[in-house]
Chains A and B, each alone.
Chain A
């Protein structure tokens, strides 16, 4: 007999935990969290540095401490969790095929599903580095797990490619474990990481940050012996004559994250080519009835606080769906143009949405003294002046329902440069 459950949550990271808590608090009794790892907490377990929860708890916690607060709530609410259990398949009518060593293969039919599978690191194939086989090349996240959870050091002399926050954090971590980090190379003319991390992870330890630089060659047969770095032009093409050889035994790649959506796409959930995550409405519902998404599986977040907020909303929406099978009304499309790369959600339903909706977005390049402008069918709705906008920082705009004219077909979000008014 197939097991039935009201709400199945796939993934026990911060998104899955906050969604479960919110759904229970909104009255859903029968919930199960399914997590493939042997413990809850997701990626936070390996993020042992401080800097989480400033927005949620008003204090700076480490990743495991932030996760522990949510895990304690899940325990207190007695929400069942299937650990060491991997979801292999999700069907359009919300049947989950799961496997675990203890129970083997089983199927679970869910009234509603919340996708909270997080993200994975961009594979090295995406890097454009000619074929290499030597040991010593790691993704920064894998190295983070090795050092922080397994207590193992990947190497002693390190070059890091990519200056996103994970790369910066690992530069400091490896240095403090006694390694020599020789350089962090970034192909773009700016770093995607937080200023705070550039100062406290690189400058504090005199680690050079080489902007507009990339790895053009990898040396070594069995084990990495060194890399060749070169400066790049505006088109990211290496400039001849700028090559420099740096001996090292370890290369860490921190070249971006991709939402983990194999399950979603095989279920037929429509995905956005820009975020890599599901296309969702104001209630974070995907294109499949009763399936919701939140956290890094929806779009990559840099602050866990925003993951928790988004997940709370997904949990509440799933509860509402289970209780009243919400009607679908007229769709108002949200469109990202001129400098805004994407918005989440991608559409809203003016007749059924709540009092307000938080629209999350990212810009495609850094701006100084610009404004995020919101137009409803061509009429200016809001103009939010910003001193700085950076691709690494997610922006949020809250729209109240009563601000949006009834019958609006399309709301556009764009960046306008020039002096702020």
Chain B
């Protein structure tokens, strides 16, 4: 049995949550003021996820970089790896907002998509 203390991000209250874990599953949550705190702690302790945003370089574009995001949240422990992949990725212009930049980002099965377009130079 172990305990984890975390801050709920559900609203500005920022309740201090204490989750009790047994064999990798959350058995109880305390410190929350509402249901959302309970849900958050269960998800965050077992399978935390984050939407990742950033930029990738554009070859022959009217701008040096375009902004990108993951199509859906990816596991939190993949975030830095995703960042390294993005840093070494370049696309070529023209590209439109919504285009897929990488189909499977860092082995997560989630796509990286452009959030703004860029014309060719």
Contact = CB atoms under 8 A, between A and B. Distances in A.
Contacts of A388: 11-14
B65 A149 contact: yes
| Residue among A45, A68, A151, A198 facing the most chain B CB atoms (10 A cut-off) | A151
Given A48-B115, A62-B67, A176-B83, A195 B54 contact: no
Contacts of A48: 53-55, 67, 69, 115
A349 interface: no
B60 interface: no
B68 to A, nearest CB: 8
Nearest to B33: A387
Contacts of A405: none
Interface string B1-33: 000001111011110000000000000000001
B53 A198 contact: no
B54 A64 contact: no
Interface in B49-71: 50-55, 57, 63-65, 67, 69
A177 B87 contact: yes
B65 A203 contact: no
Q: What are the nearest 8 A-B pairs in CB distance?
A: A151-B65, A48-B67, A151-B64, A176-B83, A64-B116, A195-B14, A196-B9, A62-B115
B65 to A, nearest CB: 4
A178 interface: yes
Contact of B97 (A50, A68, A196): A68
A147 interface: yes
Interface of A: 45, 48-50, 60, 62, 64-65, 68, 147-151, 173, 176-178, 194-196, 198-200, 203-204, 387-388, 390, 393
Given A64-B97, A387-B13, A150 B80 contact: no
A50 B69 contact: yes
A23 to B, nearest CB: 26
Interface of B: 6-9, 11-14, 33, 50-55, 57, 63-65, 67, 69, 76, 79-80, 83, 87, 97, 115-116
Contacts of B97: 64-65, 68
A148 B116 CA distance: 12
A50 B55 CA distance: 13
Contacts of B54: 48, 173, 176-177
Contact of B50 (A148, A204, A387): A204
Contacts of A65: 97, 115-116
Given A62-B69, A200-B9, 18 more contacts: A64-B97, A148-B55, A150-B64, A151-B65, A176-B52, A176-B54, A178-B83, A178-B87, A195-B12, A199-B9, A203-B7, A204-B76, A204-B79, A387-B13, A387-B33, A388-B12, A388-B13, A390-B12
| Residue among B9, B13, B64, B80 facing the most chain A CB atoms (10 A cut-off) | B9
A151 B67 contact: no
Contacts of A148: 55, 65, 67
Nearest to A60: B51
A62 B53 CA distance: 8
Given A50-B69, A199-B9, A387-B13, A147 B55 contact: yes
A173 B6 CA distance: 22
A301 B54 CA distance: 24
A50 B74 CA distance: 14
| Residue among A50, A203, A393 facing the most chain B CB atoms (10 A cut-off) | A50
Contact of B83 (A49, A64, A177, A199): A177
B1 to A, nearest CB: 23
23 contacts: A48-B55, A62-B53, A64-B67, A65-B116, A68-B116, A147-B55, A148-B55, A148-B65, A151-B64, A176-B52, A176-B79, A177-B83, A178-B83, A178-B87, A194-B12, A195-B8, A195-B9, A195-B11, A198-B7, A199-B9, A204-B76, A388-B11, A388-B13
B111 to A, nearest CB: 15
Given A65-B97, A195-B14, A200-B50, A150 B116 contact: no
A312 to B, nearest CB: 24
Nearest to A386: B12
